[in-house]
């Protein structure tokens, strides 16, 4: 028979018991953590799965297609009716091409401008550098929203609203002011690299295009990703600049929004079609994001810490 | 108290210094002009009157011609006052800027002066003058630089060499010029225009081109603070809800995001990448989709109400958002949905930071017998707070101007009878409905200026404190 005192006095055994105890509590907290994560995932996926399910919903009541929001989460019938209607009865294909055009043009312009300004502010020492840096920060403080409303009135009085071209300018013209994250990236590139290239007789332009840009892939991708996805996600600038009446020139966000909300074309029965359109827009954008997530996370973290 | 005083004194000193430096810069500018005029060649002296002349005497024909064309073009615009939409740009535009139009329209189809375009073109003309003065100075400087090169026995730069400079010693000029042009026309010009509008009576009664509007001084500002009427009554409630919203939205997402990051990064948790991907999914999903989906899910006939009624929690559909019976219900709803939008973002950001918590401090604490919780409270938490303070402030500012969430979820409702601004309207959404929907552009501008003042002071405070500014050059 083992006495309790022996048990306690044995240091090896004591440790063993403690380790087991710790292990058990560790296993318990791990289980709890996984449970919590599953629960949170369900909450976060609830609306996303809902949209996906209802984009494939095909329900009829008395032979009439039902497109409104319904109270059951899982549809009673599935099919491609919403997608077929979306592509044949609405201007969605047109909106998609419009957005693709705006996104491509403004991502090229914005990426070039943002990286250029960032590089200048980081690596080229010129006389008015500090002045420009301060000016950029003060100008960046003006809410883009405020100038958007002014731009709307200006373009309207000149008869220039409701063109995709205006939208591209609005998206990209001020993009150079968002140079901080990219500047932070360029700051880390050692100056010695640039100086030695200078000693070899390289011009500033050669250094930028042949030496700096090739090693800046992460920041180029981050900047381009945000600039390209921006027009797909933006709703309010496009709504204000493009107006309501000319549906030919809408982007996907505006077109889909007006389908269910806030316009003369809005119709609650088009909700499932809205869901189908959302899916068509979301799939490429989300795929792009997930494929580039490494660069995105790097950029976000750097931007946040630098402030 | 002392600290506060120091801060005020310091700020005043900064402003004082800036002012002195500005005056000094102007002084240097004038001295430069005098020195160049005295010291320069005859060509340079003539260039003070005829732009490009100095360059011509140095055989820089293309450059000289460009300057000359610029001068002629500017003078022609200024004298001839070309009209766009029946409103002149040029000297007349400066006059119009002061009067904002005198010609009233009438019922027989005669149009009034377009006060809005007059204001705009006044600003544009002023901008043209500034650009012209810059070119004028550049013309003299360029000519003088060539003078100096000749004196040193070198040849002045040819046009080709000038262009080559743009790729080398003046590469920065090439790189930032597109941005400067873009920002001047699409950020600065509209902003200045908007600020001026705040001092006019451009309200819903005015249709530019049909009736005139006028300068009214600070009347709109006074109306907001001392007036009696819808705007004055709603300003303080909207302002205080905006601040409350920004505060709770920022901190709830911040704390939620950190907790989620800790959970995912817990040593024993498996499938880390999978969990993270789920939450990145919600960032990648365009907000107009996720927010409209949320709004529909929570609607009267949506699945959430149906589910709650099936379980027996509710007897009849509950209005969560715009139709909510009390303001508080709708406000809690938007703050909760904001968590869905904001938490993944903070999680991503803090995940990166958590991996960088200094390990040696952690181990040292454990050797000293600290429990896990103590180590967490005394090492991890302060570290995260220290690193993320700048982010907290930027996200506070972002929340003050967060438009999408309110606009797409509630549209500012629940309604306040007799007012444009609803119970969940923020300054920005109110500004939107006032200007775009109601046409009270002047009051909208005043609100925009207030929003700017709030965000700008928060930014300046954080910017002064941020590492990025203080250690601007230490990395290099």
B409 or A143: which leads in pLDDT: B409
Whether B254 contacts B241, CB under 8 Å: no
Chains A, B: CB contacts within 8 A come to: 285
A150 vs A161: CA distance, rounded Å? 12
Q: With bands split at pLDDT 50, 70 and 90, how would you rate the model's confidence at B232?
A: confident
Mean pLDDT, residues A153-174: 82
The answer to whether residue B286 neighbours chain A at the CB level (below 8 Å) is yes
Q: In the structure, what pLDDT confidence band is assigned to residue B473 with cuts at 50, 70 and 90? A: very low
- Chain B residues within 8 A of A298 when measuring between CB atoms: 352
Give this complex's ipTM: 0.86
Mean pLDDT across chain B, nearest whole number?
85
Cα–Cα nearest to A166, from A155, A157, A158: A155
DSSP line for B316-361: S----STT-SSHHHHHHHHHHHHHHHHHHHHHHHHHHHHTTS-HHH
Mean pLDDT of A115-124: 91
Cα distances from B114 to residues B86, B97, B197, B223, in angstroms, run 8, 11, 14, 25
Q: Which residues of A touch B458 (CB under 8 A)?
A: none
Q: Is the peptide bond before B414 cis (omega within 30 degrees of 0)?
A: yes
- Which residue ranges make up each domain of chain A? 4-81, 83-306
How much is the average pLDDT of B18-31? 89
- Count CB neighbours of B348 within 10 A: 22
Residue B169, CA distances (Å) to A103, A204, B140, B145 in order: 34, 7, 20, 15
Token pair in block for residue B84:
């766009």
What pLDDT, on a 0 to 100 scale, did the predictor assign at position A2? Answer: 53
Residue B71 has pLDDT above 60, yes or no: yes
Residue A7 clears pLDDT 60, i.e. is over it = no
**Distance in angstroms (rounded) separating the CA atoms of residues B206 and B209:** 9
- Return the CATH number of the domain spanning residue range A83-306: 1.10.3720.10
The listed range with the strongest mean pLDDT (A97-101, A122-126, B205-209, B452-456) is A97-101
Q: Of A149, A188, A301, which has the smallest distance from its Cβ to B194's Cβ?
A: A149
In chain A, what percentage of residues exceed pLDDT 70?
Answer: 94
Contact (CB, 8 A) for B182 and A176: yes
Predicted local distance difference test score (pLDDT) of residue A52 = 94
When pLDDT is cut at 50, 70 and 90, the band that residue B324 belongs to is: confident
Confidence band (pLDDT; 50, 70, 90) for B383? Answer: confident
Decide if B287 and A306 are in contact by the 8 Å CB cutoff. Answer: no
State the pTM of this model: 0.86
| B242 has pLDDT over 90 | yes
Quote the percentage of chain B above a pLDDT of 90: 24
* B85 neighbourhood in chain A, CB within 8 Å: 157-159
What is the CA B386 to chain-centroid distance, rounded? 26
* Stretch B206-212: mean pLDDT: 82
| DSSP SS3 for B456 | helix
pLDDT of residue B466: 56
What are the b/e assignments for A6-37, b being 16+ CB within 10 Å? eeeeeeeeeeeeeeeeeeeeeeeeeeebbeeb
pLDDT value at residue B464: 64
Contact B54, B36 (CB under 8 A): no
Domain ranges in chain B are: 1-39, 40-217, 227-469
Instruction: Please give the residue of chain B at the shortest CA–CA distance from A44.
Output: B340
pLDDT at B468: 47
> Are A145 and B428 a contacting pair at CB < 8 A?
yes
Is the pLDDT at B471 greater than 60? The verdict is no
Inter-CA distances, A178 with A173, A223, B284, Å = 11, 10, 20
Spatial distance between the Cα atoms of B78 and B402, rounded to a whole number of angstroms:
42
Contact A266, A254 (CB under 8 A): no
Nearest to B141 by CA among B157, B128, B129, B154: B157
Q: What is the pLDDT of residues A291-301, one digit of tens each?
A: 998 888 888 87
- Chain B: give the shortest CA distance to residue A36, in Å: 9
Residue B411, pLDDT score:
85
User: What is the average pLDDT across B391-413?
Assistant: 86
Residue pair B273/A293 in contact (Cβ under 8 Å)? The answer is: no
Residue that has been written with the tokens 């005295």 in this structure = B38
Question: What per-residue confidence (pLDDT) applies to B460?
Answer: 74
Give yes or no for B268 touching A (CB within 8 A): yes
Range B248-262 average pLDDT: 92
Q: Which of A109-113, A181-185, B380-384 has the highest mean pLDDT?
A: A109-113
Average pLDDT, stretch A270-275? Answer: 91
pLDDT > 90? residue B380: no
Q: What is the dihedral angle through the alpha carbons of B69, B71, B73, B74, rounded to the nearest 10 degrees?
A: 160
Phi, psi of B281, deg, nearest 5: -50, -45
* A4-18, A214-228, B387-401, B441-455, range with the lowest pLDDT: A4-18
Helix (H) or strand (E) holding B465: helix B441-465
In A, minimum Cα distance to B183 occurs at A174
Residue A39 DSSP SS3: helix
Residue B397 has pLDDT above 50, yes or no: yes
- The number of CA neighbours under 13 Å toward the Cβ of A76 is 9
Which tens digit of pLDDT belongs to each residue from A133-150? Answer: 888 877 777 777 778 888
Angle at B459 between CA B455 and CA B465, to 5 degrees: 155
Range A48-64 average pLDDT = 90
Can you give the pLDDT at residue B331? 93
Looking at residue A8, its pLDDT comes to 54
Give the 3-state secondary structure of residue A65. strand
**Domain with residues B227-469, CATH architecture:** Orthogonal Bundle (1.10)
**Is residue B219 very low, low, confident or very high in pLDDT (cuts 50, 70, 90)?**
confident
Single out the residue of B307, B281, B462, B321 nearest to residue B405, CA to CA. B321
For residue B88, the surrounding DSSP H or E stretch is strand B87-88
Residue holding tokens 């997608």? Answer: A83
Q: What is the mean pLDDT of residues B330-351?
A: 91
* DSSP sequence for A75-131: -S-B-SHHHHHHHHHSSHHHHHHHHHHHHHHHHHHHHHHHHHHHHHHHH---TTHHH
Instruction: Supply the pLDDT for residue B1.
Output: 45
Q: Whole-angstrom Cα distance, residue B438 to residue B421?
A: 11
């Amino acid at each position: 028979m083992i006495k309790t005192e022996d048990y306690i006095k044995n240091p090896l055994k004591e440790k063993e018991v403690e380790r087991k105890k710790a292990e058990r509590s560790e296993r318990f907290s791990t289980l709890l953590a996984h449970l919590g994560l599953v629960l949170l995932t369900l909450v976060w996926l609830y609306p996303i799965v809902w949209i996906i399910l209802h984009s494939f919903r095909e329900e009829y009541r008395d032979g009439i297609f039902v497109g409104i929001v319904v109270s059951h989460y899982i549809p009673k019938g599935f099919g491609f009716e919403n997608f077929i209607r979306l592509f044949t009865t609405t201007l969605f294909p047109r909106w998609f091409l419009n957005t693709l055009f705006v996104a491509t043009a403004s991502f090229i312009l914005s990426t070039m401008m943002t990286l250029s300004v960032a590089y200048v502010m980081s690596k080229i020492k010129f006389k008015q550098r500090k002045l420009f840096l301060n000016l950029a920060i003060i100008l960046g403080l003006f809410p883009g929203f405020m100038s958007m409303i002014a731009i709307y009135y200006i373009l309207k009085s000149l008869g220039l609203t409701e063109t995709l071209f205006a939208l591209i300018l609005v998206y990209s013209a001020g993009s150079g002011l968002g140079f901080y994250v990219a500047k932070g990236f360029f700051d880390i590139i050692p100056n010695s690299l640039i100086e030695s290239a200078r000693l070899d007789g390289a011009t500033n332009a050669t250094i930028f295009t042949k030496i700096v840009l090739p090693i800046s892939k992460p920041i180029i991708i981050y900047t381009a990703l945000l600039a390209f996805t921006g027009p797909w996600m933006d709703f309010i600038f496009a709504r204000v600049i493009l107006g309501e009446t000319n549906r030919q020139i809408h982007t996907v966000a505006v077109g889909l929004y007006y389908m269910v909300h806030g316009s003369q074309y809005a119709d609650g029965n088009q909700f499932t079609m809205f869901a189908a359109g959302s899916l068509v827009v979301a799939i490429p954008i989300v795929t792009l994001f997930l494929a580039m997530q490494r660069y995105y996370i790097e950029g976000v973290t750097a931007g946040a810490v630098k402030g | 108290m002392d600290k506060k005083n120091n801060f005020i004194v310091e700020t005043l000193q900064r402003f004082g210094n800036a002012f002195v430096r500005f005056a000094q810069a102007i002084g240097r500018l004038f001295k430069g002009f005098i020195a160049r005029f005295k010291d320069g060649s005859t060509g340079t002296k003539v260039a003070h009157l005829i732009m490009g002349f100095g360059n011509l005497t140095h055989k820089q024909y293309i450059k000289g011609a460009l300057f000359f064309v610029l001068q002629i073009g500017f003078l022609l615009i200024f004298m001839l006052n070309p009209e766009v939409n029946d409103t002149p740009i040029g000297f007349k535009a400066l006059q119009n800027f002061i009067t904002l139009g005198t010609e009233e329209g009438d019922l027989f189809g005669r149009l009034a002066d377009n006060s809005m375009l007059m204001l705009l073109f006044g600003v544009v003309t002023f901008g043209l003058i500034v650009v012209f003065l810059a070119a004028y100075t550049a013309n003299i400087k360029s000519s003088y630089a060539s003078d100096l090169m000749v004196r040193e026995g070198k040849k002045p730069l040819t046009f080709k060499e000038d262009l080559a400079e743009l790729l080398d010693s003046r590469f920065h000029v090439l790189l930032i010029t597109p941005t400067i042009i873009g920002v001047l026309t699409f950020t600065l010009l509209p902003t200045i225009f908007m600020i001026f509008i705040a001092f006019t009576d451009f309200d819903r009664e005015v249709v530019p081109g049909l009736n005139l509007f006028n300068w009214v001084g600070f009347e709109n500002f006074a109306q907001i603070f001392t007036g009696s009427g819808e705007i004055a009554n709603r300003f303080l409630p909207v302002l205080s809800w905006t601040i409350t919203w920004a505060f709770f939205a920022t901190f709830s997402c911040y704390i939620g995001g950190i907790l989620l990051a800790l959970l995912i990064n817990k040593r024993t948790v498996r499938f880390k990448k999978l969990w993270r991907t789920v939450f990145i999914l919600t960032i990648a999903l365009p907000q107009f989709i996720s927010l409209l989906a949320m709004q529909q899910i929570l609607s009267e006939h949506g699945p959430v109400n149906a589910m709650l009624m099936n379980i027996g929690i509710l007897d009849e559909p509950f209005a969560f958002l715009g139709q909510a019976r009390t303001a508080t219900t709708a406000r809690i709803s938007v703050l909760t949905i904001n968590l869905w939008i904001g938490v993944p973002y903070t999680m991503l950001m803090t995940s990166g930071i958590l991996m960088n918590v200094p390990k040696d401090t952690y181990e040292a604490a454990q050797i000293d017998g600290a429990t896990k919780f103590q180590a967490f409270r005394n090492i991890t938490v302060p570290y995260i707070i220290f690193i993320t303070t700048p982010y907290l402030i930027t996200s506070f500012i972002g929340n003050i101007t967060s438009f999408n969430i309110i606009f797409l979820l509630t549209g500012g409702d629940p309604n306040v009878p007799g007012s444009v601004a609803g119970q969940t309207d923020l300054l920005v959404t109110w500004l939107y409905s006032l200007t775009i929907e109601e046409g009270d552009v002047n009051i909208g501008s005043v609100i925009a200026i207030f929003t700017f003042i709030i965000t700008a002071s928060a930014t300046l405070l954080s910017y002064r404190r941020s590492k990025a500014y203080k250690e601007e050059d230490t990395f290099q």
